[in-house]
Chains A and B, each alone.
Chain A
Amino acid sequence: MKTRSYTKWLFVLPAVIVVAALFIYPIFSSLFFSMTSKNLIRPRYSFLGLKNYKDILSDPKFWAAFLNSLKWTVYSLLGQILVGFTAALALNRVKLFKGMYKTLLIIPWAFPSIVIAFSWTWILNGVYGILPNLLVKWKIYETAPQFLTEKNLAFIVLVLINIWFGAPMIMVNVLSALQTVPQDQYEAAKIDGASALQSFQHITIPHIKLVMGLLVVLRTVWIFNNFDLIYLITGGGPAGSTQTVPLYAYEMGWGTKLLGKSSAVTVLLFIFLMSVCIIYFTIMNCWEREENK
């Protein structure tokens, strides 16, 4: 009897140990260093208490980055859902070429962030890029637009690139959720004289609500934490107009070498995301309870 419960634990133990070592240790380590003057290069550091946090919370640059992060997340998320959702609905409707469409549409998902950055900076390049040159050729612009170095444009372009990258993931998951909706319910609704919009509202939405909810949580966190895309495409510029919290933290830790302060930024980021997730999950639990009624 004893050996039995022993092997049972052996299965999950390696994963538990690795995940604990790679997640629980770092969070405590970060909490500790966030209260010190830890430097990337110098070995000595001293204890500062909450000074790092006070400094950051009174830094206007931090708040600018936080606002950028919020905008970046909300716009990207809404765009990804809009494109991904409509694409899934369209795919669910067509029969001809469905497989081909799906394969072509998921291609952006497989792109490494560095190649996303290279391909789009090449397409949008202010001197040799195909898009600015075409726009001039077609007489839409007089001089080549500087998509990535002009303050107002850069942020929008980044969000659009992020939508391009993230929509396929939403599409694929919504599509497979749509396929779990029992078809006979639609037939029944039709017989009862329900319009397409009504059956969408009362049959489709309730069936895919939970999957959508989870998708939104995962995407929110992922987009908020995203570092690569912005770092590689604009580096936070021009003039800090695309700097988000992860870039601010990186700049502090590896630019000005203040690892302690950088840790404090990341801890604040973590606390914020945790609060957002708790709210999301509370809402989703309510949905689940409603469904089980």
Chain B
Amino acid sequence: MRKKYFASLISHIYLLLLCFFAVFPLLWIIISSIKGKGELTGNPTAFLPKVVTLEYYRHVIFDLGFIVNIRNSVIISLATTGIAITISALAAYGIVRFFPKIGTVLSKVLVTTYIFPPILLAIPYSIVMAKLGLTNTRIGLVLVYLSFSIPYAVWLLVGFFKTVPIGIEEAAKIDGANKIQVFMQVVVPLVAPGIVATAIYTFINVWNEFLYSLILINDTSKMTVAVALRSLNGSEILDWGDMMAASTLVVVPSIIFFCLIQNKIAGGLSEGAVK
């Protein structure tokens, strides 16, 4: 009994330690972003701010025009998510119901798409987008983003669609519904929570993406948040306060969404993959 108590004490200490490391960078960028002018460079080891101010946020959003980049990222992420989820939901359902054999090798198909180095894909993408006149456009970026969104979304969704009992669909079919109607009116509502979780996951991944955005967009007014942040670093006056405020604006939505869906996505790999 005592041995068990000891083991759980050790586990708590270990987890607390890990939590500290996991959370500290987030905490630190938020704290740094609300400190008063001069505090960041004046007293680097002070933990709490002497003066709390939102001045850096105001400066980043309005003076540096970060709001334009936030708008770009929201539009691009929403568009990609909408298209990717529609295509992936159809495909996932099709695989589960009509091509179950593909379902069993799906994890291998997913890994295969992972093998393609993004840097390999980036070269042809940039050549093709230039030919189509889609460099520096949101449409171009949305198309490219489908490359990593769809395979992963299909894979997650297959796991959710598998849980729908075929009996319910048979009943709807007897009532005279065709395949599309069965899908839209019976199956989709049943797996709606799974679809929403997958959509949020897709949204976060697109919101966080960097490489393609770096390569395909170089016009400041079209930049996504990730690349705009990068250019903040490259600008002449390096102001850590601005960088921390902008970082907070980018990372907080990701974290909130991620915490909301953590339980839905968590089992994805072990449930969807191996069976």
Contact = CB atoms under 8 A, between A and B. Distances in A.
Interface string A165-187: 00010001101110010000000
- Counting contact residues on chain A (CB < 8 A from B), the size range is 35 or more
A177 B267 CA distance: 8
B253 to A, nearest CB: 9
Interface stretch (A60-68, A102-110, A148-156): A102-110
Contact of B15 (A101, A122, A134, A259): A101
A215 B251 CA distance: 25
- Counting contact residues on chain B (CB < 8 A from A), the size range is 35 or more
Contacts of B112: 277
Nearest to A254: B215
Interface string A65-92: 0000000000000000001001101110
A16 B94 CA distance: 11
A242 interface: no
A23 B116 contact: yes
Given A94-B15, A227-B118, A249-B119, A214 B22 contact: no
Interface string B73-97: 0000000000000011011011101
B108 A133 contact: no
Contacts of B120: 26-27, 30, 249, 263, 266-267, 269-270
A203 interface: no
A101 to B, nearest CB: 5
Greatest chain B CB density within 10 A among A93, A108, A110, A250 is at A110
B123 to A, nearest CB: 5
Contacts of A91: 11, 15
Interface string B233-256: 100000010011001001100110
B133 to A, nearest CB: 15
A211 interface: yes
Interface string A232-273: 100000000000001001100110000100110011011001
A119 interface: yes
A112 B255 contact: no
B179 A118 contact: no
B118 A225 contact: yes
Interface stretch (B39-47, B51-59, B164-172, B188-196): B39-47
Contacts, number: 273
B1 to A, nearest CB: 14
B274 A218 contact: no
A8 B251 contact: no
A227 B211 contact: yes
Greatest chain B CB density within 10 A among A115, A116, A175, A221 is at A115
A291 B269 CA distance: 19
A140 interface: no
A22 B119 contact: no
Contact of A23 (B143, B147, B183, B227): B147
Given A115-B251, A176-B270, 13 more contacts: A10-B94, A19-B150, A22-B143, A27-B116, A107-B258, A111-B25, A114-B250, A115-B247, A119-B29, A176-B271, A211-B269, A227-B119, A232-B230
12 contacts: A26-B116, A26-B124, A30-B123, A30-B124, A90-B15, A111-B208, A118-B233, A122-B29, A128-B240, A176-B271, A259-B127, A267-B120
Interface of B: 7-8, 10-12, 14-15, 18-19, 21-26, 28-29, 32, 40-41, 44-45, 87-88, 90-91, 93-95, 97-99, 107-108, 111-125, 127-128, 143-144, 146-147, 150-151, 154, 178-180, 183, 204, 207-211, 215, 225-227, 229-230, 233, 240, 243-244, 247, 250-251, 254-255, 257-259, 262, 266-267, 269-271, 273-274
Interface of A: 7-12, 14-16, 18-19, 22-23, 25-27, 29-30, 33, 38, 83, 86-87, 89-91, 93-94, 96-97, 101-116, 118-120, 122-123, 125, 127-130, 133-134, 137, 164, 168, 172-173, 175-177, 180, 210-211, 214-215, 217-218, 221-222, 224-225, 227-228, 232, 246, 249-250, 253-254, 259, 262-263, 266-267, 269-270, 273-274, 277, 281
